[in-house]
Amino acid sequence: MTLVRATSEARGADPTSDRWLERLAGSGGERDAAIEELHGLLLRAASFEVRRRCAALPHLRGGDEDDLAQQSADDALVRILGKLDDFRGESRFTTWAYKFALYEAAALVRKRAWQGRELPLEAEAWPQLADLSPSPDREAETGDLLAAIKEEISRSLSPHQREVLVALALNEVPIDVLAERLNTTRGALYKALHDARQRLREALEERGLSITGHQAEEDR
């Protein structure tokens, strides 16, 4: 589908959104002006998101925020220009475009927060599993479950599955950061995480235990 067709077929698109698409589909100075204007909008959105997220990361400097916002806007612009045919007019074009800037800003801040830090790939985050224990009267039962989880993570999972589970599920390492450090892809990590969780559930069920059932009872 060409961009012109996408413009004409965008369902419910408002005139302003149609105009954005027409300008970006054009050529010469009009297109250049539209790209510059769009980049300015993306930069404002990215700057807001970067400042919001960096408020909890005091080790990042003001210069870091400016660089992150600029890079986020640049990356968002490239993605938008490559996905103009995907716009269907279900929202304003600028609202649709802002989401790209917010996503890129969030991803870059997460990556910068872990820059230079050692990734926790070993079982050093076991205390976080204590969140599964919400009530004192079930403390003993929960303790047995946690012990079984720790044992099965060490025994039943492959080293790679264990690293991925510990990093992503327990230590909340951003998946794009882990993919870069391990020289792999997000898709491969998602599969490893899925396989690890499935194997862990199976191992616990073989012992007559279930994380799902335990949590469901606690929620009642």
Can you tell me the distance from the alpha carbon of 146 to that of 152, in angstroms, rounded to the nearest whole number?
10
- Our CA dihedral for 36, 40, 42, 43, rounded to 10 degrees, sits at 130
- Averaged pLDDT for residues 17-25: 92
For residue 75, give the 3-state DSSP assignment. Answer: helix
Highest mean pLDDT among 5-9, 75-79, 213-217: 75-79
**Distances in whole angstroms, Cα of residue 30 to Cα of each of 23, 37, 110, 128, 216:** 6, 11, 36, 54, 58
Q: What is the pLDDT of residue 191?
A: 96
Task: Kindly report which listed range (1-5, 27-31, 198-202) carries the lowest average pLDDT score.
Answer: 1-5
| Tokens found for residue 80 | 């938008």
- Residue 57 or 12, more confident: 57
Return the exposure string of 43-79: e unless at least 16 CB atoms fall within 10 Å of the residue's CB, then b.
bebbbebbeebbeeeeebeeebbeebbbbbbebbbee
For the stretch 55-100, pLDDT in tens is 777 666 556 788 899 999 999 999 999 999 999 888 999 999 999 9
132 confidence band (pLDDT: 50, 70, 90): very low
- Residue 94: what pLDDT? 94
Contact between residue 78 and residue 112 where contact means Cβ atoms under 8 Å apart:
no
Rounded Cα distance between 202 and 187, Å, is 23
- Per-residue pLDDT of 159-193, as tens digits, reads 999 889 888 887 778 888 888 888 999 999 999 99
Amino acid in position 143: G
Query: Which comes out higher in pLDDT, residue 108 or 9?
Result: 108
What's the pLDDT score for residue 62?
A: 55
pLDDT of 10:
45
Q: Are 73 and 101 in contact (CB under 8 A)?
A: yes
Scanning the chain, the segments in alpha helix (DSSP H) are: 3-9, 15-25, 28-54, 62-82, 93-113, 139-156, 159-164, 175-181, 186-206, 211-219
Which tens digits make up the pLDDT trace of 104-118? 998 888 887 776 666
Instruction: Pull the structure tokens for residue 49.
Output: 């998101």
Quick one: pLDDT at residue 212? 60
- Average pLDDT on 133-160 reads 75
pLDDT, residue 218, reads 42
User: What letter represents residue 58's amino acid?
Assistant: P
Asked if 84 and 21 count as a contact pair (C-beta separation under 8 A), the reply is: yes
117 DSSP assignment: P
Residue, of 11 and 113, whose pLDDT is higher: 113
